[in-house]
Structure 1
Amino acid sequence: MFLFNVRAYGLLINDKEQILLSDEEHEGFYITKFPGGGLEYGEGLIDCLKREFLEECNMEIDVPEHLYTTDFFEKSAFNESQIISVYYLVKPASDLNVRISDLPFDFNKNDKVRQAFRWKNLSELDPYDVTFLTEKKAIEALKRKLNKAV
């Protein structure tokens, strides 16, 4: 049996032209990605993304636009599933209520969940800033979109 792991991620850009990145430690791996996570049974992609932002960032969001969906095979780094990731541009519907750091992987030592957030200037954003190929492709899609808008 082949398993599919469907994931929804949000690209949140602030008024300073910065994008929110999530640094995480998962099973001993250090990864950088966008906020979001796995779809639960019975949940739609938008509902998943809104739930994930509430859980991770203590923030309500609006999801005005789809940006990119994985269009190639990507095996999970953690199990035998195939990853299908869907990326959306998101807007705040409430204040961001998490600690923001200037340093990568600046975890709070008292937290069980090893996750930290930081802003990255859009002008400096590069596919090498994130860990997985799906995020790298989302950055490329974002840069294409922003270049068309200019």
Structure 2
Amino acid sequence: MFLFNVRVYGILVNKQNEVLVSDEQLGNFAFTKFPGGGLEYGEGIIDALKREFLEECNLEIEIIKHLYTTDFFEKSSFNDSQIISIYYLIRPKSGHNLTLDHPMFAPLPMPAADNPNKEIIFRLVPVSQNKTKNFTFKTDQVAWETYILKESDRLSL
């Protein structure tokens, strides 16, 4: 039997050109990724992304556009499933701007809504300082490279 794990993530860049990243720790494993998570049975991808941002960030989001879907084999770091990740460019709903004074930015790690054994901290990182190698998982690294490439193409038009 082959297990697939469908994940959906949002890349949120605010008006100050900062990208939202999530630093998480589950047991002894610490990792940096984009906010988002797993699709639940019976749920659509967009609904899952909106749910994840409400659960993790207490933030309603709007989808701007699809950015990237995993096109290579990626084994989960947590179990024997194959990861399929889908990334969207997003923004806060209703024109709200995400800044460091947003309530989701706790000074200390807070328990994740979906798992009290997981701690999570959100950060805004200037796009110009955010490096591919800062992300733990290959899927996030490729999604970030895709974002940078598409943004440079857009700016050169």
For normalisation by structure 2, the TM-score amounts to 0.87
Number of the residue aligned with 1:142:
147
Cα offset for 1:97?
Answer: 3.7
Q: Distance in 1 between matches of 2:109 and 2:34?
A: 16
Name the SS of the counterpart of 2:59 in structure 1: coil
Separation (CA, whole Å) in 1 of partners of 2:48 and 2:41:
10
Moved over 2 A (4+): 94-97
Q: 1:100: how far off?
A: 5.3
Deviation at 1:5, TM superposition (A): 0.2
**Alpha-carbon displacement from aligned partner over 1:50-78 (angstroms, at most 9, x marks no partner):** 00000000000001200000000000011
Letter in 1 for 2:105: R
- Written as runs of structure 1 = structure 2, the 5 A alignment for 1:1-150 is 1-93=1-93, 95=96, 97-99=103-105, 106-108=108-110, 112=116, 113-150=118-155
Q: Which amino acid aligns with 1:125?
A: N
Secondary structure class of the residue paired with 2:133: helix
- Aligned-partner Cα distance in 2 for 1:43–1:75: 22
Q: How high is the TM-score relative to the length of structure 1?
A: 0.91
The amino acid across from 1:54 in the alignment is L
| Aligned Cα root-mean-square deviation (Å) | 1.7
User: Aligned partners of 1:58 and 1:86: how far apart in 2?
Assistant: 21
Between the two proteins, the alignment pairs up a number of residues equal to 145
- Please tell me whether the aligned partners of residues 100 and 118 of structure 1 are also in contact (alpha carbons under 8 angstroms): no
TM-fit CA distance, 1:28: 1.9
Percent identical among aligned pairs is 52
